[in-house]
Chain A
Amino acid sequence: MGMATTKSEFHVLAVDDSIIDRKLIERLLKTASYQVTTVDSGSKALEFLGFCEDVESNSNEPSTSPNNQQEVEVNLIITDYCMPEMTGYDLLKKIKESSSFRDIPVVIMSSENVPSRISRCLEEGAEEFFLKPVRLADVNKLKPHMMKTKNRDCQKAEEEVSSNEKIASLEIKSSEQTQAEDGNNNKRKATEAEEELSQDRTRRRYNGLTVI
């Protein structure tokens, strides 16, 4: 398993239990100028991403480990379907169920052409399904999926900046008003501003409060 550097623009995590296929996919991805990390199992993949499932809680939303290694950005995950213990499909499900990682595009590879398997994976959110042996032509199809996420991240960043600006102006307004009001009102407005902030952060989880 190699450590990722941030030289190239895109970083792909490849998962396959076959050492030959790992070598092959690594070479294919490097030829296409991507940064590559290969692992031999789904659990190692999750570990690499920084997954840490809270076994005690009932929620099936894994949280990221607090002592996550350096911020590893993975732009795409390509995984074999048939693997012992955790199949590629299981891995796909875990990723799509996670709030932190569901935006990472996932591609499935398989040596068997089973239509029901293919549609199941696509329904679960896989971007593509490649039949093995994987070719350079297949790997060249990956860029648009990675670009999509990058663009979405840029948009997200822009939205956050503009919403932070909104909140900043709200806080100024409310602090101007509270100079003439009770201490209680002060607290209420501050809480409301915080609610606005948390509203944006949790993507419009409606809490019934409105802010002027």
Chain B
Amino acid sequence: MGHRLTSQKTATPLIVEGSLLNTSKSALAYQTILRSAIGSSLTTTTRRGFFTNSEQKEVEDVVSFYDDKVTQYANQEIQTVTLKTLLGLGRSGTTCQDHHQRSEAAGDLAINLDVARYARKELPVRLARLIKATQKLPFIVGTNPYIKRVYKLYYDSFQSITASPEEIRDKDDLDSFAALLKGLVESHADVVPMLSQGFLECKKYMAKEDIKRFLDDMIRARIGIRLIAEQAISLREQRHEHEASPVETPHNDIVGVVHTELRPADLIRTCASFVQELCDVNYGSSPEVVINGQTDTTFTYVPVHLEYILCELLKNSVRATVEQSQKLGRSALNPHGNGPERRHQESGNSAVIINQDDDQDVTKRPNEFGHPPVEVTIAQGDHEVTIRIRDHGGGISQEDFAAVFDYSFTTVKNENESSGGSAEDDSPYGVDNIFKGVSRLAMQAGLGGPIAGLGFGLPLTRIYAQYFGGDMHLISLQGHGCDVFLKLKQIDESLDDLQI
């Protein structure tokens, strides 16, 4: 996956569950990269002929059973680190507001070394814990090829990090360590799809709650590991840039994987156009995305996380809107479909205006395909940024709503086992069935299929949202639509006590 680095000039390419982020890229370039990146993951994860024979052998050759190094590491305490340390702020003592200073700090070798040393020390411990957790799975589950493969990935990563020189003394050590990390991060891009498929196949061997707990813990731990590793990598790369062109400091606000002046409105726009294009491919039309509220908000966050969340939520909303349009017969000529008669009138008393004339309201006016828009509202509070995504997609029925945050594996199952479309209709908010047709089409067209890499649905989204102390709530108004409230803490506000 060498292409991941090709167009990289300013910001670091970051890989989160197979997606790439580079906010400064044009939307199209961005999407192409995203697709090709995930395309490869799709092909590896959704086909049964996943392992070559030699790989299969390799997996079985792992002699980790006799390896007590894992246990030894796993028994060490996790050293939580504050984001402040990762940003290099602890050392230089700069404040969050001082961009110039921080930019220099980012290029500072000493901070770079600090983070790398921390990563060298901490990553084996965290990896060992993941390995341990996997070892404790029921034996039959552990023999599943997908889970075994994940296990092997973690075990190999553990091995290669512990085998690397323990001391990171200078720039050269730093570079080789960063290169090692980079390789590992790339090799782990497909872990979540693999886990998902693996546990789908193991459904009958483990209780649903146990699977959910395991996956939650696994994914949460994984976010932490990736954050540390990616920060080490990207700091180093920023330093390289800085050294290459010390005069230019075009991205003072990007420190490693953290963006201190992230504009959610921009990111929403990027994600929206990406999702809309997917939707066009699949359904032939897509709704508008209206962004309102405090659109000039900026805050400190990890853009890849937010990007993943937004893409996931927008995808759900866009798809639900289009499908609801089909269901109601909404079209360009008949924008309200077979719904109730609309009217705009002053009500009998002056306090209430009955307003069903959607053309009056930009958040409700249907576009040329008859799709009402998806409304995204940004609000900046004292301690948090809230993003509300509101659609007219008909909501979720009470029965389905209970399962919305479950890890659901219906799509992958459809692809591999039933290949029928019925299950898809049953759980519109199930996991990565969402643009299943798209990925197939896209692959046929040689575009690569982007969706499988993004499609772990709401549970994963919520874990990301909660990772820095935020939260996500989904409210279904059956017959109308869904409101999602995404509440994100400004991470520089709790920089000191935020531990990852």
The answer on A and B forming one complex is no
Instruction: Give the B-binding residues of A (Cβ under 8 A).
Output: none
Interface residues in chain B, defined as those with a beta carbon under 8 Å from any beta carbon in chain A = none
